[in-house]
Amino acid sequence: MKRSERLLLGLFVIVFLVVVGGGALTIGLNHYRSITEETARLRDRLVDMNQAITEGAEWQRRSEWLNETVPTFASRQEASACLLEVIQKEAEKAGLALAGREFLEAPKEIAEDGLHFEASQGYFDRATVRLTLSAVKEQAFFTWMHGVQQPGRFLGVTRLLITPTGQGKSVNAEVEVTQFYHENAVGTGEPKGGEKP
Protein backbone atom coordinates (compact mmCIF):
# COMPACT_ATOMS: atom_id res chain seq x y z
CA MET A 1 0.00 0.00 0.00
CA LYS A 2 1.40 3.33 -0.97
CA ARG A 3 1.81 6.19 1.37
CA SER A 4 -0.92 8.25 -0.36
CA GLU A 5 -3.33 5.30 -0.13
CA ARG A 6 -2.63 4.99 3.58
CA LEU A 7 -3.19 8.71 4.01
CA LEU A 8 -6.52 8.52 2.13
CA LEU A 9 -7.54 5.45 4.13
CA GLY A 10 -6.67 7.27 7.37
CA LEU A 11 -8.69 10.33 6.31
CA PHE A 12 -11.62 8.09 5.34
CA VAL A 13 -11.51 6.35 8.74
CA ILE A 14 -11.38 9.72 10.54
CA VAL A 15 -14.32 11.10 8.51
CA PHE A 16 -16.24 7.83 9.06
CA LEU A 17 -15.62 7.97 12.82
CA VAL A 18 -16.66 11.65 12.97
CA VAL A 19 -19.91 10.96 11.07
CA VAL A 20 -20.77 7.79 12.99
CA GLY A 21 -19.69 9.29 16.32
CA GLY A 22 -21.66 12.47 15.67
CA GLY A 23 -24.74 10.45 14.78
CA ALA A 24 -24.36 8.29 17.89
CA LEU A 25 -23.82 11.39 20.02
CA THR A 26 -26.94 13.06 18.54
CA ILE A 27 -29.04 9.96 19.18
CA GLY A 28 -27.70 9.75 22.73
CA LEU A 29 -28.46 13.43 23.42
CA ASN A 30 -32.00 13.10 22.02
CA HIS A 31 -32.57 10.01 24.17
CA TYR A 32 -31.22 11.84 27.24
CA ARG A 33 -33.49 14.83 26.56
CA SER A 34 -36.56 12.62 26.14
CA ILE A 35 -35.78 10.83 29.41
CA THR A 36 -35.29 14.20 31.15
CA GLU A 37 -38.60 15.53 29.78
CA GLU A 38 -40.43 12.36 30.80
CA THR A 39 -38.93 12.61 34.29
CA ALA A 40 -40.06 16.24 34.56
CA ARG A 41 -43.59 15.29 33.41
CA LEU A 42 -43.74 12.46 35.94
CA ARG A 43 -42.45 14.78 38.68
CA ASP A 44 -45.15 17.35 37.84
CA ARG A 45 -47.79 14.63 37.77
CA LEU A 46 -46.62 13.37 41.15
CA VAL A 47 -46.85 16.90 42.59
CA ASP A 48 -50.40 17.25 41.19
CA MET A 49 -51.41 13.87 42.61
CA ASN A 50 -50.00 14.72 46.05
CA GLN A 51 -51.79 18.06 45.99
CA ALA A 52 -55.05 16.34 45.02
CA ILE A 53 -54.61 13.87 47.87
CA THR A 54 -53.95 16.63 50.41
CA GLU A 55 -56.94 18.66 49.16
CA GLY A 56 -59.20 15.62 48.94
CA ALA A 57 -60.78 16.17 52.35
CA GLU A 58 -61.60 19.78 51.51
CA TRP A 59 -63.18 18.82 48.18
CA GLN A 60 -65.12 16.02 49.88
CA ARG A 61 -66.47 18.53 52.41
CA ARG A 62 -67.48 20.89 49.58
CA SER A 63 -69.16 18.06 47.70
CA GLU A 64 -71.14 17.03 50.77
CA TRP A 65 -72.19 20.65 51.38
CA LEU A 66 -73.33 20.96 47.78
CA ASN A 67 -75.34 17.72 47.97
CA GLU A 68 -76.99 18.90 51.20
CA THR A 69 -77.73 22.41 49.92
CA VAL A 70 -78.87 22.08 46.30
CA PRO A 71 -82.68 22.15 46.01
CA THR A 72 -84.36 19.02 44.67
CA PHE A 73 -87.48 18.86 42.54
CA ALA A 74 -89.39 15.88 41.23
CA SER A 75 -89.40 17.23 37.67
CA ARG A 76 -88.44 20.15 35.47
CA GLN A 77 -92.10 21.24 35.52
CA GLU A 78 -92.10 21.45 39.31
CA ALA A 79 -88.85 23.45 39.26
CA SER A 80 -90.25 25.76 36.57
CA ALA A 81 -93.46 26.32 38.56
CA CYS A 82 -91.49 27.18 41.69
CA LEU A 83 -89.23 29.49 39.67
CA LEU A 84 -92.20 31.28 38.13
CA GLU A 85 -93.81 31.66 41.55
CA VAL A 86 -90.67 33.34 42.94
CA ILE A 87 -90.40 35.60 39.88
CA GLN A 88 -94.05 36.69 40.13
CA LYS A 89 -93.85 37.25 43.88
CA GLU A 90 -90.79 39.48 43.48
CA ALA A 91 -92.44 41.30 40.54
CA GLU A 92 -95.51 42.04 42.68
CA LYS A 93 -93.25 43.37 45.47
CA ALA A 94 -91.48 45.68 43.01
CA GLY A 95 -94.70 46.65 41.22
CA LEU A 96 -93.65 45.26 37.83
CA ALA A 97 -95.81 43.75 35.11
CA LEU A 98 -94.18 40.85 33.28
CA ALA A 99 -95.02 41.22 29.58
CA GLY A 100 -93.96 37.84 28.26
CA ARG A 101 -92.81 34.51 29.68
CA GLU A 102 -91.16 31.67 27.84
CA PHE A 103 -89.89 28.46 29.42
CA LEU A 104 -86.61 27.42 27.81
CA GLU A 105 -85.84 23.76 27.32
CA ALA A 106 -82.33 22.35 27.44
CA PRO A 107 -81.02 21.57 23.94
CA LYS A 108 -81.52 17.97 22.87
CA GLU A 109 -78.81 15.84 21.34
CA ILE A 110 -78.92 12.43 19.77
CA ALA A 111 -76.82 9.74 21.41
CA GLU A 112 -74.90 7.06 19.54
CA ASP A 113 -77.80 4.65 19.99
CA GLY A 114 -80.16 7.10 18.26
CA LEU A 115 -82.07 8.11 21.39
CA HIS A 116 -82.37 11.71 22.58
CA PHE A 117 -80.65 12.87 25.71
CA GLU A 118 -80.20 16.33 27.19
CA ALA A 119 -76.95 18.06 26.42
CA SER A 120 -74.56 17.97 29.31
CA GLN A 121 -75.41 20.90 31.56
CA GLY A 122 -72.78 20.16 34.16
CA TYR A 123 -73.52 19.19 37.73
CA PHE A 124 -76.99 20.73 37.92
CA ASP A 125 -80.33 20.33 36.23
CA ARG A 126 -81.75 23.67 35.12
CA ALA A 127 -85.13 25.30 34.70
CA THR A 128 -84.97 28.60 32.82
CA VAL A 129 -87.60 31.24 32.11
CA ARG A 130 -87.09 34.08 29.62
CA LEU A 131 -89.02 37.20 30.60
CA THR A 132 -89.76 40.35 28.65
CA LEU A 133 -90.37 43.59 30.52
CA SER A 134 -91.45 46.69 28.62
CA ALA A 135 -91.12 50.33 29.72
CA VAL A 136 -90.42 49.55 33.37
CA LYS A 137 -88.86 52.01 35.79
CA GLU A 138 -85.16 51.41 36.36
CA GLN A 139 -85.37 51.46 40.16
CA ALA A 140 -88.27 48.98 40.25
CA PHE A 141 -86.51 46.75 37.72
CA PHE A 142 -83.26 46.61 39.69
CA THR A 143 -85.16 46.04 42.94
CA TRP A 144 -86.95 43.11 41.29
CA MET A 145 -83.72 41.74 39.84
CA HIS A 146 -82.01 41.97 43.24
CA GLY A 147 -84.93 40.08 44.82
CA VAL A 148 -84.81 37.35 42.17
CA GLN A 149 -81.11 36.68 42.81
CA GLN A 150 -81.26 34.07 45.58
CA PRO A 151 -77.93 32.24 45.84
CA GLY A 152 -79.14 30.24 48.85
CA ARG A 153 -81.80 28.69 46.61
CA PHE A 154 -79.45 28.37 43.59
CA LEU A 155 -81.59 30.86 41.71
CA GLY A 156 -80.26 33.71 39.61
CA VAL A 157 -80.27 35.85 36.49
CA THR A 158 -78.19 34.08 33.83
CA ARG A 159 -78.80 36.44 30.89
CA LEU A 160 -79.74 40.10 30.83
CA LEU A 161 -80.37 42.50 27.95
CA ILE A 162 -81.40 46.07 28.85
CA THR A 163 -82.26 48.82 26.38
CA PRO A 164 -83.38 52.32 27.34
CA THR A 165 -86.80 53.39 26.13
CA GLY A 166 -85.80 57.02 25.72
CA GLN A 167 -88.64 58.12 28.00
CA GLY A 168 -87.32 59.13 31.40
CA LYS A 169 -85.75 56.45 33.53
CA SER A 170 -87.55 53.49 32.02
CA VAL A 171 -86.06 50.49 30.23
CA ASN A 172 -87.03 47.49 28.16
CA ALA A 173 -85.43 44.27 29.34
CA GLU A 174 -85.12 40.66 28.36
CA VAL A 175 -84.07 38.51 31.30
CA GLU A 176 -83.38 34.81 31.68
CA VAL A 177 -83.75 33.53 35.22
CA THR A 178 -82.48 30.04 36.00
CA GLN A 179 -83.20 27.67 38.87
CA PHE A 180 -80.36 25.19 39.37
CA TYR A 181 -81.45 21.98 41.09
CA HIS A 182 -81.16 18.21 41.24
CA GLU A 183 -84.00 16.15 39.89
CA ASN A 184 -85.22 13.58 42.36
CA ALA A 185 -88.36 11.45 42.55
CA VAL A 186 -89.33 13.18 45.80
CA GLY A 187 -88.54 16.88 45.41
CA THR A 188 -88.81 19.49 48.12
CA GLY A 189 -87.93 22.69 46.29
CA GLU A 190 -86.00 23.87 49.33
CA PRO A 191 -82.29 23.58 50.06
CA LYS A 192 -81.69 20.38 51.98
CA GLY A 193 -79.26 21.95 54.44
CA GLY A 194 -82.01 23.85 56.22
CA GLU A 195 -81.12 27.20 54.64
CA LYS A 196 -84.29 29.14 53.96
CA PRO A 197 -84.63 31.69 51.17
pLDDT tens, position by position, 22-60: 899 999 999 999 999 999 999 999 999 999 898 988 989
Instruction: Write down the pLDDT at residue 84.
Output: 92
pLDDT higher than threshold 90 for residue 87: yes
pLDDT higher than threshold 70 for residue 113: no
**176 and 83 part of one domain:** yes
How far apart CA 91 and CA 140 sit, in angstroms, is 9
Question: Domains in the chain: how many in total?
Answer: 2
Q: Which of 12, 178, 195 is nearest to 84 (CA)?
A: 178
Picking from 20, 36, 69, the residue at the C-terminal end of a domain is 69
**103 and 148 part of one domain:** yes
**177 and 143 part of one domain:** yes
Picking from 45, 69, 93, the residue at the C-terminal end of a domain is 69
Cα angle for residues 174, 182, 194 (degrees, 5° grid) = 100
Task: Say what the pTM is.
Answer: 0.62
pLDDT tens, position by position, 140-157: 999 999 999 999 999 999
pLDDT tens, position by position, 59-78: 899 989 988 999 999 988 99
Q: Domain containing 30: what range?
A: 1-69
For the segment 79-100, the average pLDDT, to the nearest whole number, is 90
Domain at 165, CATH number: 3.30.70.60
**82 and 126 part of one domain:** yes
Q: Does residue 196 lie in a domain region? A: no
Residues contacting 76, CB < 8 A, separation 6+: 125, 127, 183
Picking from 69, 90, 122, the residue at the C-terminal end of a domain is 69
